Amino acid sequence: MLSCGLFQRRLFHLARSSHFKIPFLPTLPQKPGGVAGDVNDSSTVPAEDPLHGSRHWTLDTAVSLSLVPLVGIPLVFVGPVSTVADTMLSAMLLAHCYSGFQSCIIDYVSKRVYGRIHSYAMWLLRIGSLVSLFGIYILETESDGLVGLMRRMWRRPASES
């Protein structure tokens, strides 16, 4: 019983985030304990940015909540969905994915540890989102939109029936 508790405690300590490293990305040298300066230095307050913090969380929550009716509308109505609703669904889904991937990059490829690679990952996310936005435009103008694409994917081909 005692050895089991020690084993579980050791596994917990091994699961700290400092043990999870991305092996192929170079890291910046870190100060001991991750602390800059000494105990007498005051901490630096980051500059205020309206796109971060509680406003960012509020915007992320609003985007997530807006997806609920936008996903529910095509499920309720059997006929074609309006282009505006389909475009809103596609844009909100892209914004939701962007926010989620941005949070993953901020959490796991931190600027303090990986330096410029963090900036490269953020720019790669932005470029990918712009390409996806162009894909949404093509899908909406030349086809039935996202809902039409999903219906075609889930519909059984006529040859199977």
* In the chain, where the domains are located: 54-156
Q: What is the pLDDT of residue 42?
A: 73
Q: Are 59 and 71 in contact (CB under 8 A)?
A: no
CA gap 27, 112 in Å, rounded: 9
Overall CATH class of domain 54-156: mainly alpha
Q: Report pLDDT for 90.
A: 95
**Per-residue confidence (pLDDT) for residue 121, from 0 to 100:** 96
Asked whether 27 and 114 are in contact (CB, 8 A), the reply is yes
pLDDT of residue 47: 79
Tell me what pLDDT residue 119 has: 94
Has 98 been labeled as part of a binding site? no
Going residue by residue through the chain, which has 161 residues, state the pLDDT in tens, using 9 for 90 and above. Answer: 555 665 566 655 555 555 566 777 788 777 776 667 776 777 777 777 776 777 888 888 999 999 999 988 888 877 778 889 999 999 999 999 999 999 999 989 988 888 899 999 999 999 999 999 999 999 999 988 898 888 888 887 777 65
Cα 82 to chain centroid, rounded: 28
pLDDT confidence of residue 11:
58
According to the model, what pLDDT value does residue 44 have? 75
pLDDT score recorded for residue 91: 95
pLDDT of residue 24: 76
